[in-house]
Amino acid sequence: MNLLIRWSRGVDRITAWLGRGIAWLILVAVLVSAGNAVVRKAFDISSNAWLELQWYLFGAVFMLAAAWALQKNEHVRIDVVSSRLSQRTRLWIDLVCHLIFLMPFVLLMTWLSWPFFWRSWITGEQSMNAGGLVLWPAKLLILLGFVVLVFQGLSEIIKTVAYLRGDLDPPVETEEDHLPPELREHAHLVHDIEEAHHKAGDRSHA
């Protein structure tokens, strides 16, 4: 089991590194979109290639950061239900859902994505839009996204089994962990501000 846990940690590090790097493409997409809009309005010049590049960048973020979202437990949950369950019950639900739903789906999509990409690659498939980009990079992103999800899904299964067996300590939960992501960030900010006020008060009393 220790070997599997080390493998899982290695996958987590790669996934986190990939997710953080890919997240910067959001900024690139915003800059491309803004630049394309300015050029179109100011010089009456439009390019399908630049428009499609925005779609490619969005697709890269969506597909290649999905595994990082899974690792960070940021995927959609029914919080009003899960927050009422014990941590061990949620771990069992995660394990069953990963085995029955997640892994069969990502394995199937990986298998189907390979010929989808390969046909596009060997034929040099081009966008039907005038001046558009080649299509195989976009289809490669689909394949790579599901491949990374396969590895991260296996990592999550290994960690969940380790938590249930007692080989790893489950992550410590707080009340904030049961909030939706947007409220969770606000709660962390409020907590940091309150902590700073307490420290300032302690220094003034000293």
The whole domain housing 193 covers 174-206
My answer on whether 157 and 188 are in the same domain is no
My answer on whether 127 and 206 are in the same domain is no
pLDDT tens-place string over residues 152-187 = 999 999 999 999 888 877 777 655 554 555 555 554
pLDDT for 201 equals: 57
Residue 29 CB-half CA count within 13 A: 16
pLDDT for 199 equals: 58
For the cut 60, the answer to whether the pLDDT of residue 33 exceeds it is yes
My answer on whether 48 and 79 are in the same domain is yes
Nearest to 174 by CA among 190, 189, 157, 187: 187
pLDDT tens-place string over residues 48-88 = 888 888 889 999 999 999 999 999 887 766 566 666 778 88
My answer on whether 141 and 113 are in the same domain is yes
My answer on whether 168 and 186 are in the same domain is no
pTM of the complete model:
0.76
